[in-house]
């Protein structure tokens, strides 16, 4: 043919022979032919052996997978937020219903307090769709920040929707040394016939919604117990009888 060009020798390098380099002008996709090596299309593959089209497909696949993962995370967060806003667990309600003082004696001179009390505590779950598990509950009394009785364990258990649980533990404190200022303050309160002796509960709880149960949350309950000296009842030497009124407790979760 008139326009057919035969292969031409392009160059020759003196020294070690690496083969002859030819250019074939008859091929539309130009190939470089080196004697002793396979022919590779230089415009389609890079040094790593992958074409530019393969790299672009991998980048698009990675972007698509990342977008799906991010959408899933946002969806899960949105569902949890909606469930939390709809249910909104309310802290349980605690009441100090009774505080029977068997003994509350302060030894003059050394400031030792001996006390025996039986308290009645109640708890109500105000949630309509959420149950409560109670764990590691203990009750004790405090006078102006100082613990005056040993901690008494309360039974653990499950509290259903709008259920009420009642505990009636005995609280004992034998010869508890009070600080000098607290001993003087208690003597003044006894002379005034009014004593604020708070009952505390410490423990943990978990929320239950359907088959799902939350992790543990710390529970602290503070029930102020106002005791008023009852002169209508006879008393032994060194003993006092007190009246008590039902009071609502402060609950922290």
Which pairs count as long-range contacts for 73-79, CB under 8 Å and 24+ apart, including other chains? Answer: none
Phi-psi sector, 109: left (phi>0), alpha (psi -120 to 50), beta: left
Between 26-35, 60-69, 114-123, the lowest mean confidence (pLDDT) is in 26-35
Mean pLDDT (whole number) for 157-166: 94
- The pLDDT value recorded for residue 224 is 93
Average of per-residue pLDDT values in the chain: 80
- The per-residue pLDDT for 193 is 85
State residue 245's pLDDT score.
Answer: 77
SS3 category, 70: helix
Instruction: Please identify which residue in the block is written with the tokens 């190939």.
Output: 31
Rounded distance between C-alpha atoms, residue 12 and residue 127, angstroms: 92
Enumerate the β-bridge partners of residue 207: 132
How sure is the predictor about 170, in pLDDT bands with cuts at 50, 70 and 90?
Answer: very high
pLDDT tens digits, residue range 191-230? 888 899 999 999 999 999 888 888 899 999 999 988 887 7
Q: Is the pLDDT of residue 160 over 80?
A: yes
Task: Give pLDDT, residue 79.
Answer: 79
Average of pLDDT values for 70-81? Answer: 85
Q: Which helix (H) or strand (E) holds 72?
A: helix 52-87
Average pLDDT over residues 106-113: 84
SS3 81: helix
Which among 129, 241, 148, 133 has a CA at the least distance from the CA of 200? 148
pLDDT at residue 128, as a whole number: 86
**What residues contact residue 110 under an 8 Å CB cut-off, 6+ apart?**
177
Residue 236 has pLDDT above 60, yes or no: no
């Amino acid at each position: 043919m008139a326009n057919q060009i035969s292969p031409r020798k392009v160059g020759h390098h003196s020294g070690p022979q690496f083969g002859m380099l030819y250019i074939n002008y008859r091929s539309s996709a130009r190939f470089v032919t080196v004697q002793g090596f396979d022919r590779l299309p230089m415009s389609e593959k890079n040094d790593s052996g992958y074409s530019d089209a393969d790299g672009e497909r991998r980048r698009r696949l990675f972007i698509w997978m990342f977008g799906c993962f991010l959408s899933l995370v946002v969806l899960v967060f949105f569902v949890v937020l909606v469930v939390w806003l709809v249910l909104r667990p309310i802290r349980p309600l605690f009441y100090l219903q009774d505080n029977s003082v068997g003994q509350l004696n302060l030894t003059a001179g050394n400031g030792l307090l001996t006390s025996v009390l039986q308290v009645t505590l109640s708890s109500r779950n105000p949630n309509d769709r959420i149950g409560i598990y109670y764990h590691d509950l203990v009750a004790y009394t405090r006078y102006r920040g100082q613990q005056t009785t040993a901690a008494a364990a309360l039974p653990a258990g499950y509290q259903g929707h709008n259920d009420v649980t009642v505990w009636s533990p005995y609280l004992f404190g034998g010869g508890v040394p009070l600080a000098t200022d607290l001993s003087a303050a208690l003597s003044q309160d006894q002379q005034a016939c009014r004593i604020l002796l708070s009952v505390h509960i410490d423990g943990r709880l978990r929320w239950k919604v359907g088959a799902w149960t939350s992790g543990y949350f710390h529970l602290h309950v503070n029930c102020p117990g106002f005791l008023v000296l009852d002169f209508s009842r006879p008393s032994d030497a060194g003993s006092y009888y007190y009246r008590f009124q039902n009071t609502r407790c402060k609950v922290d979760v």
